[in-house]
Amino acid sequence: MTSCASARACLSAVAARAFAGRTNADVWLSAVAARWFPAFTNAGVWLAAVAAISFAGFAHAGIWYTEPVLGLAADYSTNPQLLEAAHTATGDAAILLDSPTTYSADAAKLVIDPSFRFSDNSGYASLVSDYEHLTVGGELDSERNTLKATAAAERDSSLYQDYALNGSIGVRQDTALADLTWLRSLTERLSFSLDANYSRVRYGESNGVATLTDYKYTSASPQLSWKAGEATTLTLLGGYSVYDSLDGTTQSDDANLEAGFVRQLGELWTLTVDVGSSRESNQIKEYFGPFYLGTFKATENGAVFSGNLSRQEALTNTTLTASRKLTPSGFSFLSRRDLYELLESYAYSARWTLQGYVRLRKQQDPQFFAPTVERKYFDVGASAAWLVTEHWAVTFSASHVAEKYSPPSFSVAESQISVELARHFNRIVWH
């Protein structure tokens, strides 16, 4: 495998060739990609390079603009590390920075979105730990085709991502992600889409026995859609994914096939349903000291589904979701996750927006030679955003999460309140 230094050199060379004679904004894009992606994998590096080449030709056809946001946040949490042992409530303050930069032309769009959180809480063992995120996304459109590409590099806490502990605490989580989506309109009624995804995740050192596994995950999902009428669209979708631990010990393969529909229920309501079956194959390599004992395999078939009922009107948006799928979660094999969620948003006035959610998640993490680990999460939260002026906003939020884990059986819970003051700067435009 090419080393990180070599990958960085490759990216620099490709970006220099792609951006020769371009604007300072283009050079800044290549510099940002070279700074972030060498810390992760060559897949992320090369996707960034491909994106650079794809969009370099449009650099003078449109405009660039950025809309930076600077925020100050204060949090108070009763159990920020989700510890079962004795703990104390803590408060912390943080600076938040978000600076989405967009390039827009007739048939192309590119968005670069770096976001950061700097607080007085060092480390990554807390729900309010620092984070560093960089996302680069682009879109190319033609009469019948749409191509979207996304590359992301993230560093944050395993608790921030998935309430996941490594050993007995949360740890740093480094994620590199690449995604490519192609949508093709075959006829006025028939369309085809293909989504390909690659991600690679590494965790920090565990406290005690490690419970999380560094992994890479690759998936491909084709979908065929047929517009059967003004209010109904029929869908047929499949997928295949491979989940590998980076140490080569465990692997999961998943193949699934689903059929469904999208139905417009009047002017306000939309119902989306997909139902199907999946086949998961797991394998593990067992050793006794330095001696290889063999590879053990198991196969499991099961149902997968996804349902979404949404209502959208002028002031209120309501979304009710229920789903079951196999997903990567940092454990030895793919986890089966059931999610039930209610989201509500209400524009109380021109200056006040209220939001709330209730979420229940059940997850099963299979193991060889041991009982399946089951985790249940109940999460509820509410927020109120006040637009004080055109440039200043204040957001008040409160949340509560409870987790039950077995075996061994234990429960943890955490409640949090926070206040965030944000300064939205004027849009800066350049050509």
Whole-number pLDDT of residue 302: 95
Average pLDDT per 10 consecutive residues for the chain, totaling 431 residues: 42 40 42 44 50 51 92 94 84 95 93 94 86 96 95 94 86 97 96 98 89 95 96 97 95 97 95 97 90 90 97 95 95 95 97 98 87 92 97 98 87 95 95 80
Rounded CA-CA distance 212/329 in Å is 8
pTM, entire model = 0.84
- Which amino acid, one-letter code, is at 240? Y
Do 136 and 33 touch, CB atoms closer than 8 A? yes
**∠ CA 355-356-362, rounded to 5°:** 145
Rounded CA-CA distance 54/109 in Å is 11
Whole-number pLDDT of residue 21: 42
